[in-house]
Structures are given as C-alpha cells and as structure tokens.
C-alpha cells in the first residue's frame, strides 16, 4: 500500500473526507486502505490517496481493528469494509463474556505503567502472556521517576521481569526535558507500537510528548480510588512523524482494568511465562501442571533457596492456571 502523509483526526466523531461527486464518493470499488481509528463498530480508513473515510463492516465477518489492511467500497456517503486482508498478528483479550481485540499487524507493544497509581502485577503478567502467545516484542515503561521513592519501589517490583529478559525503561514526563524519552524513542522508531496500560499511568501525556500536534486531553488520577480515570475512549493510530510513516506509529488504546486470557490453554500457560519456561522439558509426567506433581523442575525452581522463580510470579501462575482450567472445563 502506498505510504501517505496524514494527520489522524482528533474529533470525537470523524467526518468522511473522501471526495464526493453528486452525493457519491468517487473512490473505486474494493480499494485498499489502513484502519487508523475505531469507534464501536465503525472505523476510520486511511485511503491510498490520503483521505479519511468512515466505514462500517459488512456483516459480522468483516469487523476490523486499528492496524488492519482492508478492502472497502462506498455507497452514498458511507464506506463499507468488504474484506479484512490477512493479518500478521492480532492482539486481543478474552474472558467468559467477550473477546476484545486491541489492534492488528503490530511490531511492538509498550506496556505503560506508573509509579502511581500502583500497578497490578497480575494485570501486567496477563498482558505479557498475551503478547508472548502472539509473538510480539514488549517494552515496559515505568513512568513518574520524579516520584523518587514510589518509582524506586515500583522499579524493584519489576526486577523479576528484567531478570527474565523483558525490556524495561524508566521515564518522567513532567521534567523538562522529559527523562528517558530519547531512550524510549529508540524502541519506537520504525515500528508500529500499541501503547497499553492501566488508566492513570500517563499514556495520553506520553502521546502528547511523542507527537505534540495531537494534544490529547488528560485528566488527574483519582487518588481516593488509587486508580486512573479513562482519558482515551477510542483506539487511534498516530504517525510518529506525519511526513514519514516509515519512522513508525503508535496506537493509543483505552486503559484497561481487566485482561482475560481464556484463549490460552492451561497446559500452555507456562510456555508463555519465560521465567517458568526456562525450567520446562524435564518433568516426570508429560502432562505435568507444575502445581503438585513430584520431580517437577518448575516446582523445584520455585521452592529453591533462594527461589529461582519469583514467589509472586509463581503465585500468579497458580491463580491463572486455576482460572484457565475452570474456563476450559466450563466448555464441556
């Protein structure tokens, strides 16, 4: 697809900007484009000539997400997604109620955390497992280095993740100039990155620093609840350099409080947790759950002195294995 220069729309509801003639859009049938924004079932498609067109899916089979390459057609003043082209990947979460797709065709996921509010290691681990299962590289960014004591405590909590090879960077977006932003930019350059994280971590502030023209609205966190308020309500792709799309893009998504993993089979869970996976392959039983069986290297590593697997991480594995087993059994 031809690369074009465009500044993505920031309006609450974008307008169709495809050229019209006599009330009809002039784009050709089955043209291709890139989904750059989602609003419920509707999406904004960036066409090959740089126009933005609101489209809706034709039936349930053509639901598109940001990052999708699509074929589209027009009738009157609306576009229709005729086909979602083959994806390199799709990052999503799934619980007993529904499947939520974040974005497609990603090179990289940035999990953006803050020293305040305190992040959940369970939610962090869920996102990392989903990324590992999809084969997408991950960087964890810990914001609010200016809160020295809180940041130091959070940085220490991330030590097990650094030990298992996860890339972690520290940031402060309120200092002048921002601390760590150049280091982060190196990881974003030339890649399509989904920015993922809980509400209140500062994702919108980060997007404003990376792409000043965007100027996303930010809100104060709710300290009474020790959680953030949602700022982003839509998923939107922004070029890091609007004049050069090859420089990379970031996809801003709504903050999340839950991250279901019901698409992960419980027997596969340990393979998506690198600190456990390094001890796999020598269990006595081929279907070892790594929970109670004898002669299990994973259990031995977790109970070693000092432990070779973080006690918190092993506890997360136990809880997730129980959850996923119950979900799998519910299907029978």
Give the domains, in start order, of the chain with CATH numbers.
20-84 (2.40.50.140), 98-252 (3.40.50.300), 266-330 (1.10.40.50)
Residue 222 is predicted with a pLDDT of 36
Residue 189 is predicted with a pLDDT of 95
Residue 177 is predicted with a pLDDT of 87
217-269 tens-digit pLDDT = 444 433 333 444 444 568 999 999 887 888 999 999 887 767 899 999 999 99
The structure's pTM equals 0.85
pLDDT higher for 83 or 5? 83
Least confident range of 3-7, 51-55, 107-111:
3-7
141 backbone dihedrals φ, ψ, rounded to 5°? -110, 125
Q: What confidence category does residue 332 fall into, taking pLDDT thresholds of 50, 70 and 90?
A: low
- Report which of 109, 146, 147, 115 is spatially closest to residue 129, judged by C-alpha positions: 109
pLDDT higher for 315 or 232? 315
Residue 213 is predicted with a pLDDT of 78
pLDDT higher for 245 or 131? 131
DSSP state of 268: G
pLDDT exceeds 80 at position 314: yes
C-beta separation of 50 from 62 below 8 A: no
DSSP state of 262: T
Average pLDDT of span 263-291? 97
Residue 201 is predicted with a pLDDT of 82
pLDDT exceeds 50 at position 130: yes
Dist. CA 255–CA 247, nearest whole Å: 25
C-beta separation of 109 from 91 below 8 A: yes
Average pLDDT of span 268-278? 98
Residue 215 is predicted with a pLDDT of 65
Average pLDDT of span 88-95? 94
């Amino acid at each position: 697809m031809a690369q074009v220069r465009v500044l993505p729309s920031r309006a609450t509801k974008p307008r169709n900007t495809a050229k019209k003639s006599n009330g009809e859009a002039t784009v050709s049938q089955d043209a291709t484009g890139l989904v750059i924004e989602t609003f419920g079932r509707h999406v904004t498609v960036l066409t090959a000539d740089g126009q933005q067109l609101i489209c809706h899916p034709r039936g349930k089979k053509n639901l598109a997400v940001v990052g999708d390459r699509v074929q589209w057609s027009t009738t009157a003043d609306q576009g229709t997604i005729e086909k979602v082209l083959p994806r390199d990947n799709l990052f999503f979460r799934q619980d007993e109620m529904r499947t939520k797709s974040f974005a497609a065709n990603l090179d990289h996921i940035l999990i953006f955390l803050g020293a305040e509010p305190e992040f959940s290691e369970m939610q962090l681990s869920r996102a990392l497992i989903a990324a590992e299962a999809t084969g997408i590289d991950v960087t964890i960014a810990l914001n609010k280095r200016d809160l020295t004591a809180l940041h130091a405590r959070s940085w220490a909590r991330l030590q097990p993740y650094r030990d298992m090879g996860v890339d972690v960077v520290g940031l402060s977006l309120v200092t002048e100039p921002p601390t760590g932003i150049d280091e982060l930019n190196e990881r974003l350059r030339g890649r399509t990155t989904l920015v993922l994280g809980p509400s209140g971590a500062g994702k919108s502030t980060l997007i404003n620093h990376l792409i000043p023209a965007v100027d996303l609205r930010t809100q104060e966190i709710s300290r009474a609840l020790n959680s953030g308020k949602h700022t982003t309500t839509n998923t939107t792709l922004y070029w890091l350099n609007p004049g050069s799309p090859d420089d990379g893009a970031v996809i801003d998504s709504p903050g999340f409080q839950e991250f279901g993993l019901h698409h992960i089979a419980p027997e596969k869970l340990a393979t998506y947790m690198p600190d456990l996976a390094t001890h796999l392959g020598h269990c006595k039983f081929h279907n070892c759950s790594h929970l109670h069986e004898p002669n299990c290297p994973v259990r031995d590593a977790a109970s070693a002195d000092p432990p070779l697997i973080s006690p918190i991480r092993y506890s997360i594995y136990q809880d997730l294995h129980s959850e996923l087993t119950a979900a799998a059994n519910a299907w029978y």
